[in-house]
Amino acid sequence: MEQALERPAGNWAARARESVRLALPIVLGYVPVGFAYGVLAVKSGLSPANTVLMSLMVFAGSAQLIAVGLFAAGAPPLSVVLTTFVVNLRHLLMSAALAPHLASWPRRLLPLFCFQMTDETFALHLSRFQRKDTERGVTLGVNMVAQAAWVAGSALGVASGSLIGDVRPLGLDFALPAMFIALLCGQLKGRPHLAAGVSAAGLALLLPRLGLGQWSVLAATALAATLGIVAESLGRKE
């Protein structure tokens, strides 16, 4: 508490503003998708409390939507948990990729930071961390804003029930794909990285056809990163 008082109030406000500003594209994407999740979850037989609790405790968009589909289909409990595990296993690689940037952080903050690691927050923080911007307040602030948007979207979906608002006329459904494009272009530095990116994209489209749908992002990433190292060594020999 005393430490908090020592900091000028303006800093807090500035950090909060910066967090909201950075998280805005994520918010635009999460509210409508969270809304859709909320509507579907209630329709699939989840209570309003369980629907919102899942957004608070799991916080993983695609896995939650898949789980709701499984609940609706009457899948056994264990298969819902196992599917969630496989779908979210890709975060393993994201967490490993962020690890070197978190070395200066107090260890006790890692459980909080990692709890809110999604595809979108990972992508956003990675580009910041690579610019040596690892300011903790803004980092955790972005995560809080992102999850707040997800939970709020879910709750709105629950509240409006069958009344499905159409977000398509506003183009909100393209906010997250556009964000991925912007962040991807920031990572294309040099030929080995370009090669890794192109092969990951190809594999991500190919692997679902081979029946690896739920493993596709994880497998495409692991294979393409390996190809990147191969491309790097080939480039050196020339």
Partner 1 sequence: MDQHTIFLVILGMAAVTYVPRLAPAWLLSRRELNPLLARWLSYVPVAVLAALTAQSVLAPAGSVDVAASNLYLWAAIPCFVLAIRTKGFFGVVALGMAIVAGARFFLG
Q: Which of residues 128-167 bind partner 1 (CB under 8 A)?
A: none
Select the span of 6-14, 136-144, 150-158, 177-185 touching partner 1 (CB under 8 A). 177-185
Reported as half-sphere exposure (CB side, CA atoms, 13 A), residue 36 has a value of 15
Among 205, 210, 234, 235, binds partner 1 (CB under 8 A): 205
The answer to the question of residue 31 lying near partner 1 (CB under 8 A) is no
What's the rounded Cα separation, in Å, for the pair 238 and 236? 6
Closest contact distance (angstroms) between CB of 25 and partner 1 is 4
The answer to the question of residue 24 lying near partner 1 (CB under 8 A) is yes
Cβ-in-10-Å burial (0-12, 13-18, 19+) of 72 comes to: middle
Reported as half-sphere exposure (CB side, CA atoms, 13 A), residue 165 has a value of 18
Shorter beta-carbon distance to partner 1: residue 97 or 148: 97
The interface mask with partner 1, positions 67-106, x = CB under 8 A, is x---x--x--x--xxx-xx--xxxxxxxxxxxxx-xx-x-
The answer to the question of residue 11 lying near partner 1 (CB under 8 A) is no
Q: Give every CB contact of residue 80 below 8 A, 6+ residues apart in sequence.
A: 67, 70, 71
The answer to the question of residue 47 lying near partner 1 (CB under 8 A) is yes
Q: Give every CB contact of residue 50 below 8 A, 6+ residues apart in sequence.
A: 41
The answer to the question of residue 201 lying near partner 1 (CB under 8 A) is yes
Structure tokens that stand for 2 in this block = 């005393």
The answer to the question of residue 187 lying near partner 1 (CB under 8 A) is yes
The answer to the question of residue 179 lying near partner 1 (CB under 8 A) is yes
The answer to the question of residue 126 lying near partner 1 (CB under 8 A) is yes
CA 45 to chain centre: 26
The answer to the question of residue 210 lying near partner 1 (CB under 8 A) is no
Shorter beta-carbon distance to partner 1: residue 92 or 159: 92
The answer to the question of residue 117 lying near partner 1 (CB under 8 A) is yes
Computed on alpha carbons and rounded to an integer, the radius of gyration of the chain in Å comes to 20
What's the rounded Cα separation, in Å, for the pair 159 and 109? 34
Closest contact distance (angstroms) between CB of 190 and partner 1 is 10
The number of beta carbons lying within 10 Å of the beta carbon of residue 19 is: 21
